[in-house]
């Protein structure tokens, strides 16, 4: 008996972020083969890239996450060389300028301690991108929740009870302009029943 459609998709793509899946469908990774997952966690966004032989790098502050992704790579007949894995802060990464074609940073930036930490992570990820490189970021923002938060930028408690570092649309636009980046898509925000708002921010260098 054939697997269900959902089982086949999960086998190929894992638990990939649907907004990242959209970028794949639109050809954004067709020529961008050197990929860094910054804040990779257990590797939910990586099965497709590993199966397809992309040059994958990973970074996470949790050693268990790094081990989990290495195990995932082995299970999928992929490989992550030791010098392609970094356990530590995203503020200081061990790779050369322009050494990756795409950075995935999904649900990570909102764990910044403060504005300086947020900027330092972004600047470091941007440093690694080659010309025409892509930055795909998903992060909690204040967009759409302005009346429910104590502030629209900075660390705040969201209605869902979590504490996050949030930014507003102006912050994202200003950062884009300051780094002479290009928005590949309009800034898109999903409001999860007024409990939190998650924004998709996609740039090219």
HEC profile of 184-198: CCCCEEEEECCCEEE
Indicate the number of domains in the chain: 1
96: left (phi over 0), alpha (psi -120 to 50) or beta: beta
Quickly list H helices, 46-198.
Answer: 47-51, 63-75, 115-128, 169-178
Q: In the beta sheet, which residues pair with residue 203?
A: 135, 183
Which range marks the domain in which residue 134 is found? 5-204
Q: Give the Cα separation of 201 and 205 in Å (integer).
A: 13
CATH number at residue 67: 3.40.50.150
Q: Give tens-digit pLDDT for 10-62.
A: 877 888 999 999 999 999 999 999 999 999 999 999 999 999 999 999 999 99
Say what the pTM is: 0.94
């Amino acid at each position: 008996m054939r697997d269900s459609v959902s089982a086949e998709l999960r086998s190929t793509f894992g638990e990939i972020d649907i907004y990242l899946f959209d970028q794949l469908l639109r050809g954004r990774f067709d020529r961008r083969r050197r990929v860094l997952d910054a804040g990779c966690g257990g590797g939910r966004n990586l099965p497709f890239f590993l199966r397809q032989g992309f040059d994958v790098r990973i970074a996470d502050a949790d050693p268990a996450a790094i081990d989990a992704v290495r195990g995932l790579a082995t299970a999928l007949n992929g490989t992550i060389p030791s010098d392609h894995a970094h356990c530590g802060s995203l503020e200081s990464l061990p790779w050369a300028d322009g050494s990756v074609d795409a950075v995935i940073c999904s649900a990570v930036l909102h764990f910044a301690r403060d504005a300086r930490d947020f900027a330092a992570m972004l600047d470091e990820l941007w440093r690694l991108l080659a010309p025409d490189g892509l930055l795909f970021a998903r992060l909690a923002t204040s967009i759409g929740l302005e009346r429910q938060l104590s502030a629209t930028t900075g660390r705040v408690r969201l209605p869902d009870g979590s504490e996050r570092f949030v930014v507003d649309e102006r912050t994202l636009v200003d950062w884009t302009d300051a780094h002479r980046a290009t928005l590949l898509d309009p800034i898109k925000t999903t409001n999860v029943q007024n409990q939190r708002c998650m924004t998709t921010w996609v740039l090219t260098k």
